[in-house]
């Protein structure tokens, strides 16, 4: 499968470079993600994968080049503005709101699309209560889709690890994104959980009709679900293409396994 | 019950009105202590919005209080006679609001540049603000300089103090149980994650700061119009610390706990007067003991914020 033409890309990174002092973390990266596409971004530790996420979500502005979402530049946009435009993310190390319940974790994200006014919040009239009921119903709905409904009243910090990961994905989805960025969702999962996760990612893509950019370490997961894979090494894109094609790419094998072993493994 | 909070607010204001109409029969000393309690409730509950719920450590609350105290005193003492030819208690309510709004403006002026700082750094900046305000008042002759303002008309009474305490509690709990509150707590828990969920963390930090400063200003106005005199030393760093201690002992982000601890600590400070010079030493010692025994706050039982029970 080839990359979609730049014009109909949902997200387009155009020769993005970021330097921290003398270190070039990401160098002249071109990346396109089309509508309803599931793209993987892989690479060894320190290859700059998470930095790519931070570039897209506005945590760092690119030193050179630009990021475009639905044809609009994301330059000078703050993270919360970028989320409002339709890009949601999860974090490599889980970052839920520990002192909020599972229910309220999702509600914070859901209320993005319906901010009540300050005066309304103080007067607490019928409109206020109606808006609250509506958000609550939506939270219940999305929690039930992902079978987290029974944890509704649990504090987020008390959830089992796998469910915390899942809740983070649900919370990101609650912002109603067009593009979902998943940062190593399989980290710390056992093989069974990984299979579940792959199903979940597929399900999300179909059910919500969104695009997914998956940063992952775990080859099994990436190769299992992604339609297209980009490989980063030291901040440079060294390969791109379908999973099979990338898997056999000598440059990728070298980056992951080193010269010799890689050559033997590819036989 | 959708309108329970409205009913409680009205009931609390009525109750303070009824008690207030009996207050002339009260021992003046008890009344004085009661007003101190009320003022401290307003201060602590509003500071809890900033420090507890939103997680921005501010040490400048006494500064905002002094701004409100001077501004409202200026209205009743100087503006009143100019407008009406005499001092009139009709001006008291507008004067309090003026104090609140001027303090809120000060909150905005301090908050916008400094809220990008976190934790200890923010604490130091707000501490610095409080000291600057104090020095400014001490050196402004029009506001009495180091002597402060004397002869402020005694308009504040039980009704005004506890009426406003009820309003403060109502406003803070209403905000906390709305989209605002969830955003405050999300900002407190994890700023990076909050902004990734579309929460404009800067905006919510400033809102918390400005609302908190507003009520500190109101508290200052009430204090001034009860004690009838204010001076810069009364609003020093120690006063800010006193409010922070109330909030921490009550439990950060626990409005009910903070109200109880405001009552308890104010009464405790009064009781300890029997020990003369050892008063502050005993007070500090008790705080250390309480903190060691209950670091989560004296009144931190697991009731936090109620969950809604959504209909199926």
Contact residues, chain A, for B186 at CB < 8 Å: 97, 100, 108
Q: How far is CA A137 from CA A103, A131, A144, B74, in A?
A: 11, 10, 11, 51
Contact status, residue A125 vs residue B5, Cβ threshold 8 Å: no
Q: Residue A260: its pLDDT value, please?
A: 55
Q: Residue A43: its pLDDT value, please?
A: 86
Read off the tokens for A256. 């992951």
Contact status, residue B115 vs residue B205, Cβ threshold 8 Å: yes
Read off the tokens for B21. 């109409």
For the cut 50, the answer to whether the pLDDT of residue B166 exceeds it is yes
Q: What is the DSSP letter of B305?
A: S
Q: Which residue has the higher pLDDT, A75 or B89?
A: A75
Q: Which residue has the tokens 């180091």?
A: B146
Residue A251 CB neighbour total at 10 angstroms: 13
Q: Residue A267: its pLDDT value, please?
A: 47
Read off the tokens for A231. 């490989």
CA–CA distance, A212 with A89 (Å, rounded to integer): 10
For the cut 60, the answer to whether the pLDDT of residue B308 exceeds it is no
3-state secondary structure B126-156: HHHHHHHHHHHHHCCHHHCHHHCEECCCCCC
Q: Residue A190: its pLDDT value, please?
A: 86
Contacts of A117 (CB under 8 A, 6+ apart): none
Q: Residue A259: its pLDDT value, please?
A: 59
Strands A64-69 vs A179-183: parallel, antiparallel or unpaired: unpaired
Q: Residue B312: its pLDDT value, please?
A: 41
Task: Mark yes or no for CB contact B310/A100 under 8 Å.
Answer: no
- Comparing CB atoms, the residue among A83, A128, A133 nearest residue B198 is A83
Q: Residue A122: its pLDDT value, please?
A: 87
The per-residue pLDDT for range B86-112, each reduced to its tens digit, is: 778 889 999 999 999 999 999 999 999
For the cut 90, the answer to whether the pLDDT of residue B24 exceeds it is no
For the cut 80, the answer to whether the pLDDT of residue A264 exceeds it is no
Q: Residue A263: its pLDDT value, please?
A: 52
The per-residue pLDDT for range B253-280, each reduced to its tens digit, is: 889 999 999 999 999 988 888 887 888 8
Q: Does A112 touch chain B (CB under 8 A)?
A: yes
Task: Report which secondary-structure segment, H or E, holds B159.
Answer: helix B158-176
3-state secondary structure A149-178: HHHCCCEHHHCCHHHHHHHHHHHHHHCCCC
The per-residue pLDDT for range A171-202, each reduced to its tens digit, is: 999 999 999 999 999 888 888 888 989 999 99
For the cut 70, the answer to whether the pLDDT of residue B310 exceeds it is no
Q: Does A153 touch chain B (CB under 8 A)?
A: yes
Containing structural domain, residue B100: 36-234
Q: Residue A1: its pLDDT value, please?
A: 44
Mean pLDDT on A38-51: 88
Helix, strand or coil, per DSSP, at residue B278: helix
For chain A, what are the domain ranges?
A: 6-96+178-265, 97-158
Q: Residue B306: its pLDDT value, please?
A: 45
Contacts of B25 (CB under 8 A, 6+ apart): none
Helix, strand or coil, per DSSP, at residue B194: helix
Radius of gyration of chain B (CA): 19
Rounded mean pLDDT of chain A?
A: 87
Residue A147 CB neighbour total at 10 angstroms: 10
CA–CA distance, A20 with B59 (Å, rounded to integer): 35
Measured at the CA of A258, the angle between CA A252 and CA A260, to 5 degrees, comes to 110
The per-residue pLDDT for range A216-229, each reduced to its tens digit, is: 877 888 888 999 99
B64: nearest Cα among B31, B30, B20, B101: B101
In a domain, B176, yes or no: yes
Half-sphere exposure of B193 (CA within 13 A, CB side): 25
The per-residue pLDDT for range B180-224, each reduced to its tens digit, is: 999 999 999 999 999 999 999 999 999 999 999 999 999 999 999
CA distance A74 to chain B (A): 15
Task: Report which secondary-structure segment, H or E, holds A87.
Answer: strand A87-89
For the cut 50, the answer to whether the pLDDT of residue B282 exceeds it is yes
Q: How far is CA A39 from CA A28, A169, A228, B29, in A?
A: 19, 16, 5, 73
In a domain, B185, yes or no: yes
In a domain, B92, yes or no: yes
Mean pLDDT on A208-213: 94
Contact status, residue A43 vs residue A233, Cβ threshold 8 Å: yes
Q: Helices A102-110 and A126-145: crossing angle, nearest 10°?
A: 110
Q: What's the gap between Cα B149 and its chain centre?
A: 21
Strands A64-69 vs A11-20: parallel, antiparallel or unpaired: antiparallel
Strands A11-20 vs A23-33: parallel, antiparallel or unpaired: antiparallel
Task: Mark yes or no for CB contact A99/B178 under 8 Å.
Answer: no
DSSP per-residue letters across chain A? -PPPPGGG-SEEEEEEEEEETTEEEEEEEEEEE-TT-EEEEE-STTSSHHHHHHHHTTSS--SEEEEEETTEE-TT--HHHHHHHTEEE--SS----TTSBHHHHHHHHHGGG-PPPHHHHHH--HHHHHHHHHHHHHHHHHHHHTT-GGGTTSBGGGS-HHHHHHHHHHHHHHT--SEEEEESTTTT--HHHHHHHHHHHHHHHHHHT-EEEEE-S-HHHHHHH-SEEEEEETTEEEEEE-HHHHHH-HHHHHHHH-HHHHHHHT-
In a domain, B67, yes or no: yes
Contact status, residue A63 vs residue A21, Cβ threshold 8 Å: no
CA–CA distance, B291 with B183 (Å, rounded to integer): 28
Q: Does domain A6-96+178-265 have CATH number 3.30.390.30?
A: no
Read off the tokens for B15. 């109750």
CA–CA distance, B44 with B40 (Å, rounded to integer): 6
Q: What is the DSSP letter of A116?
A: P
Q: Residue A34: its pLDDT value, please?
A: 92
- Chain B positions with Cβ closer than 8 Å to A: 2-3, 5-6, 171, 174-175, 178-180, 182-183, 185-186, 188-190, 192-201, 207, 253, 304-305, 307-308, 310-312
Rounded mean pLDDT of chain B?
A: 89
Q: Residue A244: its pLDDT value, please?
A: 87
CA distance B296 to chain A (A): 13
ipTM: 0.88
Chain A interface disruption, residue of B4, B6, B185, B198, most A CBs within 10 A: B198
Contact residues, chain A, for B190 at CB < 8 Å: 95-98
CA–CA distance, B5 with B255 (Å, rounded to integer): 14
Helix, strand or coil, per DSSP, at residue A47: coil
For the cut 90, the answer to whether the pLDDT of residue A104 exceeds it is yes
Residue B139 CB neighbour total at 10 angstroms: 11
Q: pLDDT above 70 covers what percent of chain A?
A: 91
In a domain, B2, yes or no: no
* pLDDT range class, residue B62, cuts 50, 70, 90: very high
For the cut 90, the answer to whether the pLDDT of residue B40 exceeds it is yes
Contacts of A261 (CB under 8 A, 6+ apart): none
Most confident of A117-121, B142-146, B302-306: B142-146
Read off the tokens for A146. 């992902």
CA–CA distance, A68 with A137 (Å, rounded to integer): 34
Read off the tokens for A89. 């993310």
Q: Residue A114: its pLDDT value, please?
A: 66
Half-sphere exposure of A70 (CA within 13 A, CB side): 9
Q: How many structural domains is chain B composed of?
A: 1
């Amino acid at each position: 499968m080839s990359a979609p033409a730049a014009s109909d890309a949902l997200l387009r990174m155009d020769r993005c470079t970021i330097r921290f002092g003398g270190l070039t973390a990401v160098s002249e990266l071109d990346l396109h993600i089309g509508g309803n596409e599931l793209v993987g971004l892989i690479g060894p530790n320190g290859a700059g994968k998470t930095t790519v996420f931070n570039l897209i979500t506005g945590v760092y502005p690119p030193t050179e080049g630009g990021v475009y979402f639905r044809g609009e530049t994301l330059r000078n946009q703050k993270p919360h503005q970028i989320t409002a435009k339709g890009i949601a993310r999860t974090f490599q190390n889980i970052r839920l709101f520990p002192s909020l319940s599972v229910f309220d974790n999702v509600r914070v994200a859901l209320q993005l699309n319906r901010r009540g006014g300050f005066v309304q919040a103080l007067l607490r009239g019928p409109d206020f209560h109606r808006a609250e009921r509506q958000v609550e119903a939506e939270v219940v709905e999305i929690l039930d889709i992902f079978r987290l409904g029974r944890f509704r009243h649990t504090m987020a910090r008390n959830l089992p690890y796998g469910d915390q990961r899942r809740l983070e994905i649900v919370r990101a989805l609650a912002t109603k994104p067009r593009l979902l960025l998943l940062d190593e969702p399989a980290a710390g999962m056992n093989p069974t959980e990984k299979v579940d996760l792959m199903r979940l990612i597929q399900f999300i893509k179909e059910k919500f009709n969104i695009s997914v950019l998956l940063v992952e370490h775990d080859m099994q997961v990436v190769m299992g679900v992604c339609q297209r894979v980009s490989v980063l090494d030291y901040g440079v894109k060294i390969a791109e293409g379908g999973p099979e094609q990338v898997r056999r790419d000598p440059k990728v094998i070298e980056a992951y396994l080193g010269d010799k072993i890689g050559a033997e493994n590819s036989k | 019950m959708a309108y329970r909070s409205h009913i409680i607010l009205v009931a609390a204001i009525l109750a303070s009105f009824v008690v207030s109409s009996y207050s002339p029969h009260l021992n003046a000393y008890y009344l004085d202590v009661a007003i101190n309690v009320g003022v401290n409730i307003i201060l602590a509950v509003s500071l809890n919005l900033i420090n507890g719920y939103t997680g921005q450590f501010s040490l400048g609350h006494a500064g905002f209080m002094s701004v409100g105290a001077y501004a409202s005193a200026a209205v009743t003492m100087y503006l009143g006679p100019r407008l009406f030819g005499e001092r009139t208690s009709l001006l008291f309510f507008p004067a309090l609001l003026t104090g609140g709004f001027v303090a809120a403006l000060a909150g905005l002026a301090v908050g916008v540049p400094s809220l990008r700082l976190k934790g200890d750094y923010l604490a130091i900046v707000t501490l610095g603000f409080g000291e600057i305000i104090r020095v400014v008042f001490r050196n402004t002759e029009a506001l009495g300089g180091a002597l402060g303002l004397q002869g402020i008309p005694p308009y504040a009474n039980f009704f005004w103090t506890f009426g406003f305490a009820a309003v403060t509690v109502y406003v803070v709990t209403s905000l906390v149980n709305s989209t605002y509150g969830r955003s405050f707590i999300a900002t407190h828990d994890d700023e990076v994650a909050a902004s990734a969920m579309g929460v404009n963390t800067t905006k919510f930090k400033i809102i918390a700061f400005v609302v908190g400063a507003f009520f500190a200003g109101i508290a200052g106005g009430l204090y001034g119009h009860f004690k009838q005199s204010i001076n810069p030393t009364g609003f020093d760093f120690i006063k800010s610390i006193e409010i922070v201690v109330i909030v921490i002992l009550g439990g950060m982000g626990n409005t009910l706990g903070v109200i109880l601890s405001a009552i308890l600590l104010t009464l405790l400070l009064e009781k300890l007067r029997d020990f003369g010079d050892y008063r502050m030493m005993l007070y500090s010692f008790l705080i250390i003991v309480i903190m060691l025994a209950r670091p989560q706050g004296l009144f931190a039982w697991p009731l936090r914020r109620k969950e809604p029970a959504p209909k199926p």
